[in-house]
Amino acid sequence: MGKLHKYFENAIRTIGFVNTKLPTAVFYSTPIGIRFEIGGKEEVYLPDDQGMNPVYVKNAFCRAKTLFHDLPCRPNLLRIDNNPEEAGGITLQTLSHVGLPAPDESILERHIDEGACFLQEHLYWDLTKSSCQINRLLFEIIKGDIGGFSCLCSNVYLLNTENFVLYHLYDDRGADIVAYDKHLLLPLYQKYKDWILPYDKARIDQLFAGT
């Protein structure tokens, strides 16, 4: 087991994940977290098949970037999950395009899902050393499900392994921020309460009630 892989798995267990195989929506698999709405009210696409609406993309990116830079602690570890056996998997060319150098560590694992066996690759970057362009990466995640690199959707995890805070921008629609200690997330809850996804707002309000 690689060093970064071990740090990552130990941290997500501390946060409260029962299974180290991360789900698509991390918010529903942890006891403490906030689910934010990223996409705004603008139309996602331009009329007449003209592609992505740049205003929608810009505003979604602004929210994603604001939340990231207002995290209670800077992530020190980046993980991207890749399915190398599938078409459209992540390549070094893809990484270069989204502002990432070659990974510091790569771990291959075989998983069984509903009777099917598949290979998954965990790519890791030590953010205390690597020259990753995080804003560019966030921008590409926003575009991933609406005309960009679909291999980035729900597969990018930014983690602080010392304070146990995970930032998961899953696509243009939303971002989950989960943690071991809810007091670390309280300032985000108070400052960006209006961005919380309405469907999950009651649960999140209850979590922070009286804090």
Q: What is the pLDDT of residue 36?
A: 97
Report d(CA 102, CA 124) in Å as an integer: 9
Range 156-180 average pLDDT? 97
DSSP of 45-93: B-TTT--B-HHHHHHHHHHHHHHHHTSSS---EEEEEE-TTSTT---HH
Give me the percent of the chain exceeding a pLDDT of 70: 97
Q: What is the pLDDT of residue 114?
A: 67
Domain region containing 175: 3-42+50-208
Mean pLDDT over the full length of the chain: 92
Burial class (CB in 10 A: 0-12, 13-18, 19+), 3: exposed
The pLDDT of residue 1 is above 70 = no
Question: Which amino acid is located at 5 in the chain?
Answer: H
Q: What is the pLDDT of residue 13?
A: 96
Burial class (CB in 10 A: 0-12, 13-18, 19+), 111: exposed
pLDDT band at 211 (very low <50, low <70, confident <90, very high): confident
CA Rg, the chain, in Å? 17
Q: How far is residue 61 from each of residues 32, 167, 172, 204, measured CA to CA in Å? A: 24, 14, 8, 23
This prediction has a pTM of 0.94
Report d(CA 84, CA 87) in Å as an integer: 8
Q: How many domains does the chain have?
A: 1
